[in-house]
Amino acid sequence: MKLFYREYGEGEPIIITHGLFGMSDNWIPIAKKLAEKYKIYVPDMRNHGNSPHSDIHTYEAMSRDLFEFIEDKNIEKAIFIGHSMGGKTVLQFAEKFPERVKKMIIVDISPALYIPTNEFFKKALNHKLLLENLKNINLNTFKNRAELTAFVNKNFKNPFLIHLILKNVKKEKSGFVWKININAFYDNLSEMRRKIKLSENVKNIEILFIFGSNSPYFRGKDKEYIKTHLPKSEIKIIPGAGHLIHIEKEDYLTNIIKSFTKSKQV
């Protein structure tokens, strides 16, 4: 699949992959800062942003999208940064194509299985419930963005959800349409939560895991799981950050990335 992408700077390539419901422009501020020394590519993943839609939304498919992307760009080897869904995609990519990965930075996600529980949803977005609500929105009923905005503000009280929904709707000649593929997400939620099986292929790659101290995606058992399966990896915790570290702690995260990317593997 040919992905839409943004690019900045010149130099050694870094590829940034966003999370579920996200898109490339979420990472523009960090991409521009990294572009002072690197060539940065930020694709919209399949079923997101300006990239094509498909009924298939699996880590295997998304990892092959990345392979096609670097082949098109004649990139032999790159540093990969992945947030949430994008992080698991990068891990899946490294399992399949380890020779194409110089380093990996995995932001606020573990390779482990995530089981949705009531306790988890006290802090995390309930994707299933949100998608069910989005399915019930008939975009054909809105004549303009003002009407759409008024509807969303009336029916969704969480400012983050309001922003997420409005950002993922675009106007075409036929009317409003979703940038995201709601049905594909809904049908593949279990795939998004699944464990990424890692072999010796990945264990020799230099990997940095970065978690927010307040994120529901950072659980007590994740440190142990990562160190067991990827003993050479490094883990950093950003205090006071939730799941959207790249937005909440932009400068803090950027500095950690810069330090890790310029360090030499021993």
**Cβ atoms of residues 187 and 53 within 8 Å:** no
Domain stops at, among 187, 209, 239:
187
| Residue bearing the bigger pLDDT, 235 or 265 | 235
- Residues 174-202 have pLDDT tens digits of 899 999 999 999 999 999 999 999 998 89
End-to-end distance of the chain based on CA atoms, in angstroms?
36
Over range 35-54, report the average pLDDT: 98
- Number of neighbours of residue 127 by Cβ within 10 angstroms: 17
String of DSSP letters for 76-89 = SSEEEEEETHHHHH
**80 & 144 share domain:** no
**204 & 94 share domain:** yes
pLDDT band at 264 (very low <50, low <70, confident <90, very high): low
**Cβ atoms of residues 110 and 217 within 8 Å:** yes
**156 & 227 share domain:** no
pLDDT attached to residue 123: 80
- Residues 55-102 have pLDDT tens digits of 999 999 999 999 999 999 999 999 999 999 999 999 999 999 999 999
**Cβ atoms of residues 42 and 24 within 8 Å:** yes
% of the chain with per-residue pLDDT over 90? 90
Over range 127-140, report the average pLDDT: 94
Does 119 have pLDDT greater than 90? Answer: no
Mean pLDDT of the chain: 95
**252 & 133 share domain:** no
pLDDT attached to residue 12: 97
pLDDT attached to residue 117: 82
pLDDT attached to residue 223: 92
Q: Which residues contact 251 (CB under 8 A, 6 or more apart)?
A: none
Predicted model pTM: 0.95
pLDDT attached to residue 265: 52
pLDDT band at 220 (very low <50, low <70, confident <90, very high): confident
pLDDT band at 148 (very low <50, low <70, confident <90, very high): very high
* Domain, as residue range, for 38: 5-114+194-262
**94 & 206 share domain:** yes
**23 & 142 share domain:** no
**158 & 68 share domain:** no
Domain stops at, among 171, 187, 203:
187
Does 266 have pLDDT greater than 50? Answer: no
